């Protein structure tokens, strides 16, 4: 199989996750519109040097796991009238994610 695998990663395809609010400034690649939002892991992308470190010249690692996470458009923009099936997929580094039970009541 050519698909990247890494046995020690925290999340698997299909896992429900939530993007956490890290109070980090600088070259952060996680846009505000997904912070606090609940989605589902759809693909593991491998592990990469953290852009938050690279931006300040720190190329020593460690590498961090990167996942593609899918969100319903209605989760991202709850006030909008977007079709139920529409979604958005974005890449999120491991340290911005926490496990999330989808059965929880949504805020």
Partner 1 sequence: MQSEENSHNHIHDDHEALIVEDDAGNLEGQIIIDALQSVLIARGLLTAPEVAKAIEKLESPGIHQGAGIVARAWTDAEYKDRLLENGKQAIGDIGIAVGEAQIIVVENTPQTHNLITCTLCSCYPRSILGQPPSWYISKAYRARAVREPRRVLAEFGTVLPDDMELVVHDSNADMRYLVLPEPPANLADLATSELEALVTRDRLIGVTR
Residue 5: partners with Cβ closer than 8 Å, 6 or more residues away? 44
DSSP string for residues in 47-87? EEE-HHHHTTT--S--EEEEEEEEEEHHHH-TTS---TT-E
Establish if 58 lies at the interface with partner 1 (CB under 8 A): no
The stretch among 5-13, 15-23, 38-46, 97-105 that binds partner 1 (CB under 8 A) is 38-46
Half-sphere exposure of 37 (CA within 13 A, CB side): 24
Establish if 33 lies at the interface with partner 1 (CB under 8 A): yes
Q: Which is nearer to partner 1, 20 or 88 (CB)?
A: 88
Establish if 85 lies at the interface with partner 1 (CB under 8 A): yes
Which positions lie near partner 1, rule CB under 8 A? 2-3, 29-31, 33, 43, 45-46, 48, 51, 66, 68, 70, 73, 76-77, 80, 82-83, 85-93
């Amino acid at each position: 199989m050519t698909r990247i695998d890494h046995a020690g990663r925290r999340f698997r395809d299909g896992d429900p996750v939530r993007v956490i609010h890290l109070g980090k400034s600088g070259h952060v690649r996680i846009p505000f519109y997904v912070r606090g939002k609940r989605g589902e892991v759809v693909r593991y992308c491998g592990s990469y040097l953290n852009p938050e470190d690279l931006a300040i010249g720190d190329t020593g690692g460690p590498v961090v796991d990167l996942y593609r996470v899918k969100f319903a458009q209605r989760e991202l923009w709850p006030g909008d009238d977007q079709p139920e099936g529409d979604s958005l997929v974005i890449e999120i580094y491991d340290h911005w994610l926490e496990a999330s039970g989808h059965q929880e009541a949504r805020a």
